[in-house]
Amino acid sequence: MPNFSQTVQHIRSSEIRDLMKLATRSDIISFAGGMPNNDLFPVAEIEELFLKMDPEKKKTAFQYGPTPGYPPLLEALKEYLRTKGLPVDTHKLMITTGSMQAINILGMEFINPGDLVMTETPSFIGGIAVFKTFQARIKSIPLEADGIDLEALETVLEKETPKILYVIPNFHNPAGIIYSKEKRLKLLELLKDKNIILLEDDAYNELYFNNEAKAMTTPIMALNKTDVEVVYTGSFSKILGPGFRLGWMLASPEIYEKAQIIKQGIDSCSPNFTQVLAHEFMQKGYLEPYLHKIRQEYHERRDLMQAALKKYMPQEVQWQVPQGGFYFWLKLPEGMDAKEIVKDSIIKGAVFVTGKTFDPQAENLNYMRLAYSNMDKNQIDEGVKIIAESVKKYMRVYS
């Protein structure tokens, strides 16, 4: 069970870590880790590309590279992002050591202790962790089915101006939702003439399950006709492998210039070894067929998961069916605490992450995140059954 310790790492919650220690069984079914499936990585393709690679390029892979990234990869990525309507000619692109480093760099550039940063709730734990590291004051705005609650946001913005507003519009981690186009445009309108950086985290952009969802994935930055300062981040983690530690940041020249200097002081450059491989992967046309394959695979898992949830979960549990990405976000009846459920289900052999973990205010007690990405398809039904039984048991006890 080599993924178990990784799962623990990526939950980033000491509470859950303690629970995990209780589970010594190696056959635990984990809906916990928000990571790609180990069996879906393009191992054979990368091996083939590495073998066929030009010897000079191989040497380059071992050497230092320029701080903003391996130039051919920057070029390939620029053309790729252009197809998404992103402003690659007026803005500057930088390769980062995972997209989390991009968030970190932006934090170093803009956040002083006590500064206000706004996030969605729930939000990505890695993002929350960065903002907390820089001692930001975090206010969070609830998510609705089609994106951030604009009225709640407007109410706060009437009184306060955050340095950064951090959003994940596509196949949200953990909420699984996608922003409607209307809401993207209204959000830009709302931020107009305000001195707020909109940090758009688009790690799941490619993982749509149908054409309708695909049409909705156009980044907010690509829709921006206002003066809003959008910083866009993306990642190779979900479309190639997190082990490459490669992400990117697209930002205005002003933000980019400082970001580059900061990155130089953090790690000098991102790994050239994996940058060279990522470039081969894009350049030789392997990305698109690979995406086609993993979209189907995650789509199948989503379907199996939805079927199992419908079969086993009591009707009081609510969720939206995700149209892409890795996550189901389940709402338990008010007053219930998902922690009690995971305590029970982990003993029976299934684990997930409680909603509280994804809430900057550590509330949201009655939510659960179930990731279907990194598990065998044949485990899904059994795993959901276990968790549903824990839910029912809890409901019997506390009702």
- Residues engaged in binding a copy of itself (CB under 8 A): 2-3, 5-6, 9-10, 12, 33, 35-36, 38-39, 41, 43, 46-47, 50-51, 55-56, 58-67, 71, 97-98, 100-101, 104, 108, 126, 129-130, 133, 237, 240-245, 262, 264-274, 276-277
Q: Supply the minimum distance, in Å, between the C-beta of residue 243 and a copy of itself.
A: 3
Closer residue to a copy of itself, CB minimum distance, 287 or 386 = 287
Closer residue to a copy of itself, CB minimum distance, 54 or 227 = 54
Q: Supply the minimum distance, in Å, between the C-beta of residue 134 and a copy of itself.
A: 9
Amino acid (1-letter code) at residue 88: V
> From residue 295, how far is each of 148, 213, 319 by CA, in Å?
25, 12, 21
Tokens of 94: 């930088």
DSSP 222-275: HH--SS-EEEEEEESTTTT-GGG--EEEEE-HHHHHHHHHHHHHHHSS--HHHH
Closer residue to a copy of itself, CB minimum distance, 275 or 323 = 275
Tokens of 199: 């940090």
Tell how far CA 256 is from the center of its chain.
Answer: 22
Compute the radius of gyration of the chain from its Cα atoms: 21
Closer residue to a copy of itself, CB minimum distance, 126 or 234 = 126
Return the half-sphere exposure (C-beta side, CA atoms, 13 A cut-off) of residue 222.
Answer: 16
Q: Supply the minimum distance, in Å, between the C-beta of residue 3 and a copy of itself.
A: 7
With contact defined as beta carbons under 8 Å apart, do 332 and 391 qualify?
A: yes
Q: Supply the minimum distance, in Å, between the C-beta of residue 81 and a copy of itself.
A: 21
- Is residue 331 classed exposed, middle or buried when 0-12, 13-18 and 19+ CB atoms within 10 A define those classes? middle
Closer residue to a copy of itself, CB minimum distance, 14 or 399 = 14
Closer residue to a copy of itself, CB minimum distance, 133 or 318 = 133
DSSP 373-387: SSS-HHHHHHHHHHH
Closer residue to a copy of itself, CB minimum distance, 271 or 324 = 271
Q: Supply the minimum distance, in Å, between the C-beta of residue 285 and a copy of itself.
A: 19
- Residues whose CB falls within 8 Å of the CB of residue 283, separated by 6 or more in sequence, listed in order: 72, 76
Sheet-wide strand order for 353-354: 327-331, 367-371, 353-354
Closer residue to a copy of itself, CB minimum distance, 77 or 128 = 128
DSSP 300-367: HHHHHHHHHHHHHS-TT-B-PPPSBSSEEEEEPPTT--HHHHHHHHHHHTEE-EEGGGG-TTS--TTE
Q: Supply the minimum distance, in Å, between the C-beta of residue 218 and a copy of itself.
A: 27
Closer residue to a copy of itself, CB minimum distance, 217 or 373 = 373
Q: Supply the minimum distance, in Å, between the C-beta of residue 51 and a copy of itself.
A: 7
Q: Supply the minimum distance, in Å, between the C-beta of residue 235 and a copy of itself.
A: 11
Q: Supply the minimum distance, in Å, between the C-beta of residue 35 and a copy of itself.
A: 5
How far is 217 from 223, CA to CA, in rounded Å?
11
Q: Supply the minimum distance, in Å, between the C-beta of residue 295 and a copy of itself.
A: 18
How far is 131 from 123, CA to CA, in rounded Å?
12
**SS3 state at 285:** coil
Q: What are phi and psi of 318, to 5 degrees?
A: -115, 150
Closer residue to a copy of itself, CB minimum distance, 3 or 283 = 3
